[in-house]
Structure 1
Amino acid sequence: MIRWKAAMGALAIIFSLSLPPFTYASADASTRGSGLDRAGFNAIVEWNRESLSRIVRWHRQFVNSIVYAKWDEGYNIYISKPDGTDEKQLTNRYGEYAVEPRIHPMGMKVMYRIERDLYIVNILTGEEKLIPYQSDEVENNASWTKDGKILYDNGTDIFLMEEDGSNRVNLTDRYEGRATHATLSPDGSKLAFENWGHVYVMDMNTKEVKQIYTGGRDPEFSPIGNRLVVTLDSYYEGAVITMDADGQNVQKISVGNLINLSDPTWSPDGKRIAFNAPYNVYTINSDGTNLQKITNQTSYVGNWSRAMIR
């Protein structure tokens, strides 16, 4: 009940923030202040009511969904429920390679990469936009931070920038090694990344870097930041590995005969993990049970959407 009330309260805020200022007053006052008649005022209210209804419908359909890239004369971005049902195609780029999809923390848009460029597509409208250039380098492995900033690597260093490409900062300029596949803890205090199959964590305050695991790749922090998930850096053995944020309490999760795993990602409640194994998307419980294949053609996992309102 408390969660439901919180969700409705948040939706009410979204609804109210989308209203023009004069609609906070009475209809008569609004009419006098804006020159609108009552029919015009009612039309605006009805438009906002429909907008709220669309958000509620979206929340019911796509909350706790997975986004991924799938081959169809090129790679395009799709979203579906965790079991692969109710699939929706988000991009339609014939002959192009739209890859590395990541869903925004609020859930309404998905970021993806084509060659060197990052794009964002609106899940509701299908509208796409290019994130402005920051450099001539490739913007690899981009992901959203909890506050909606973009984290990515150029193959050597980790960068953080605003959604519009502004305020770009190099987070690993003082780290002498190669830093890729970064993940920022939800509270922003720790940065985990990969360096040639080894996992490191940087303290964002002191910039101190420690190696916490050998033989893992593609780290991602859990929704509350207390655990990391990686995949085994091996072409001969497949496993999903979880550990505390400092590398302690390692748990190795067997995935049968699947090998060459990559891109593990947590479900919003931290109870399941999605990952890629050539060439499909799978999910498994964090305790190693209930392995499921959710796609049936060449696909690469993006990430598990967070609830729009939590």
Structure 2
Amino acid sequence: MLFMRAVLAVGIVAAAGLPMAGTAAAEQRPAPSRIIATDYSSGTPALVSLNPVSGDVIETFAQNAEEGVLSPKGSAVAYIQRDNTCIPQTEGCMYARHLVVAEADGEDQHILVRGIAPETNHAPYVMHPDWSPDGKRIVYNSPRGMEWINSDGTGQEVLMAAGGVAGTFSPDGKSIAFVKTTPYETTDGWEDGREVWVMDTATRQVHQISTARNALSEPVDWSPDGQRIVYTTENGLSVVDVTTGAVVQLQSGWTDPLSNLQGPVFSPDGTRIAFSARNFVDQTHSTYVVDATDGKNLQVLRSQGATPTDWLNK
């Protein structure tokens, strides 16, 4: 897999902070208002909003906060926070990860879902929250699988047993996209493949969208019109058409290798995608933006690592 990632190509910003020849400068593009992201530049994760032109931090919502999302009206935030209480393990401490909700100004912070102790030897955790478009529910992952809960703390329910991860609501709230691991038979035996699937929130019926078996177990994102889903793969970034299953691999025109791609999110007009990645050559962790249709005009938005979770036009 390392070899596969090493052959990725990415236009990257030089040490002086200027884009390479052939890339479009971010300053020349009109910008939606903010990208919600987990900022790791201070050493402690913080939930922030970024200027999608300069990459500067506009606002900090919470410290010690990861994978955060704003409610549809922007009045509240949901994020993952690590507990500071040691859970003794044979090789040291583990720490629970809780789903926390607070007002956007940081007031009324409270735990909505406590970290759940899995059956394995891992620390208790919940992960990857996403707010429904009507603001009524939050979907998230736990060792039990993909779950959701009402934003007032009632109605907690397992939607799918372990195997489906990182659910994301469609723009109309009628579907949840997620990555699911399923076994398949090869000439050498059985292997696990990961695909993008979609669940109907009313019927709970699921159907497979992608077919390449190369999706990573990371959150996906819907285009604003609900017609496409972007996801990370073993090779980079792919966008799949929800109706036809046709896939566009965005990394085919990049020129430097990237690895550890995370957090792809569509811009509010559906023309750009922001994500974070590590440059394979110099091991720098940066936030990037790229054209959503063909992977062109890739550029570094922020040289300090910040992993996007949403791109808002308000």
With normalisation by structure 2, the TM-score equals 0.67
Cα distance change, pair 98–292 in 1 and its aligned pair in 2 (3 A): same
Once the two structures are superposed, what CA deviation does each residue of 1:92-150 show, in whole Å capped at 9, x if it has no partner? 64xxx421121222234332211221233444x34351233366352210011111121
- Residues 149-203 of structure 1: CA deviation (Å, up to 9, x unaligned): 2110114421121222211122225xxx611111122233322211233222223
Residue by residue, what CA displacement relative to the aligned partner does 1:67-105 show, whole Å, maximum 9, x if unpaired?
212221311122121123452341564xxx421121222
Give the corresponding residue for 1:220: 221
Shift of 1:205: 4.0
With CA pairs under 8 Å and 6+ residues apart, which has the higher RCO, 1 or 2? 2
Counterpart residue type for residue 176 of structure 2: L
Partner residue, 1:75: 45
Name the amino acid aligned to 1:209.
V
Unaligned runs of at least 5 residues, structure 1: 1-61
Q: Is the 8 A contact 1:90 1:121 kept in 2?
A: no
Counterpart CA distance in 1 for 2:108 and 2:288 is 28
Q: Cα distance 1:163–1:207, how it changes in 2: closer, same or farther (>3 A)? A: closer
1:140 aligns with 2:127: yes
Q: Does 1:231 align with 2:193?
A: no
What is the distance in 1 between the residues matched to 2:297 and 2:71? Answer: 27
Higher Rg of the two aligned structures? 1
Q: Aligned AA for 2:172?
A: D
Question: Equivalent of 1:106, from 62, 73, 79?
Answer: 73
Distance 1:84 1:110, change over 3 A: farther
Confirm whether residue 187 of structure 1 aligns to residue 172 of structure 2: yes
The structure in which a higher percent of residues are helix is 1
Query: Superposed, which structure 2 residues align to 1:274-293 within 5 Å?
Result: 274-278=274-278, 279-287=285-293, 288-293=295-300
Deviations 1:256-300 (A, max 9, x none): 422221221111111111112132211111122221212222332
2:35 maps to 66
Name the SS of the counterpart of 1:259 in structure 2: strand
State the identity as a percent: 28
What amino acid sits opposite 2:204 in the alignment? K
Q: Distance in 2 between matches of 1:121 and 1:105?
A: 14
Give the Cα separation in 2 of the matches to 1:167 and 1:281.
36
Task: Output the amino acid matched with 2:140.
Answer: Y
Find out whether 1:117 has 2:98 as its counterpart. yes
Structure 2, unpaired ranges of 5+: 1-30, 83-96, 118-124, 182-193, 279-284
Question: Does the CA-based 8 Å contact 1:156-1:180 persist in structure 2?
Answer: no
Partner of 2:14: none
In 1, the alpha carbon distance for the partners of 2:62 and 2:222 equals: 31
Aligned letter for 2:287? V
Equivalent position of 1:158 in the other structure = 146
RMSD: 2.5
